[in-house]
Each structure stands twice: as C-alpha cells, then as structure tokens.
Amino acid sequence: MGPTTRPLQPRTGDAERVATVAAVAEARAGEFTYDVALSFGGEQRTYIEKVAAALRRRGIRPFYDDYEKAALWGKDLYEHLDWVYQKAARYCVLFASEAYAKKVWTTHERRSAQARALQSADEYVLPVRFDDTEIPGLRPTIAHVEGASKTPAQLAKLISEKLGPRVRE
C-alpha cells in the first residue's frame, strides 16, 4: 500500500510568518538614507551628474555630492563619507577609471564600501568601468557595466532594475 496523499494545509502561524517576512522586505527599502551612493573621480562628473539626475527622475535617492552641498557644509567629511559609503546606501555604484584609482577621497569611499561588502551576504559594490585600470580590492571576477557603452539614462534604468520595486512611506 502506497503513501496516502492529502492536500497541503497551511500550518498554524504560516500566514503571520509570511506577513512578517513581507513587512521586513518592504521595510528594507526604507532603512537606508540613499538607494545608491555614487563614488567617482571628478573627471567623470559630467556623466555622473546626468546619471544622478536620471535616478532622481525615477524616484531613486542617490548620494551625489552636488545634491548634498548644504548638508555637507561644516561636517567632518572623513567620518561622514565613511558613514555614507558603509552604512547609508543600499548599493554603492563605483565608477572605476584611471583617475578614480589615483584619488585620495575615492580611495576612502572605496575602502568604506568594501568594508560594507565584506560584511554583507549580498552584493553591494556595483562597478561601472570607464577603462581597464586595476582598482585595489575590486576583483576582476565581479561583474561590471562598461560605462562607455551606456548612456546615463540607460545606466539609471539598469540601477533602477537592480533596486527592484521600492516601497516609500
């Protein structure tokens, strides 16, 4: 005699667990000050400015220094940028280039982002490459986007897709 089959019945408390998991997932989108932190060398500012504007038009909250001038005024930037790139954003979009690799502030941003990535089970640093310059700690096995092959609007759309649906209060 074979095993009997019966329709699966939800166990007591399953609905509550599903609701709790859904609520946690919804809250995650709102737990960060920024959806993405943009880390770049000044040589790419014109491109990044267009990316940041396209992100805002999509309702995405980027950390882009020009949008934060008043908030940054008077702050200890070493500490504040460490907080931004390590804790305040859901993802860090790192715009890798020869100029990026040579700058002190981008090194600080990258190290803060990498500290977060080390502690995270999920991807955090999303590289966009403008050239083949080696960036310390950014492994060649990490999937990246070629900056030269995407318009700022296309990159903003890709970032939006990566973020997925977001819940705003």
pLDDT at 165: 84
pLDDT at 166: 65
Q: For the chain, list residues with pLDDT below 50.
A: 1-28, 167, 169
Q: How many domains does the structure of the chain reveal?
A: 1
Give a yes or no: residue 71 inside a domain: yes
In this structure, what token pair is assigned to residue 141? 């096995």
Type of residue found at 121: A
CATH number for the domain including 49? Answer: 3.40.50.10140
Give a yes or no: residue 62 inside a domain: yes
Domain of residue 66: give its range.
36-163
Reported pTM:
0.80
Over residues 95-136, the pLDDT tens digits come to 999 999 999 999 999 999 999 999 988 999 999 999 999 999
Give a yes or no: residue 111 inside a domain: yes
Contacts of 27 (CB under 8 A, 6+ apart): 167
Give a yes or no: residue 20 inside a domain: no
- CA 151 to CA 39: how far, in whole Å? 17
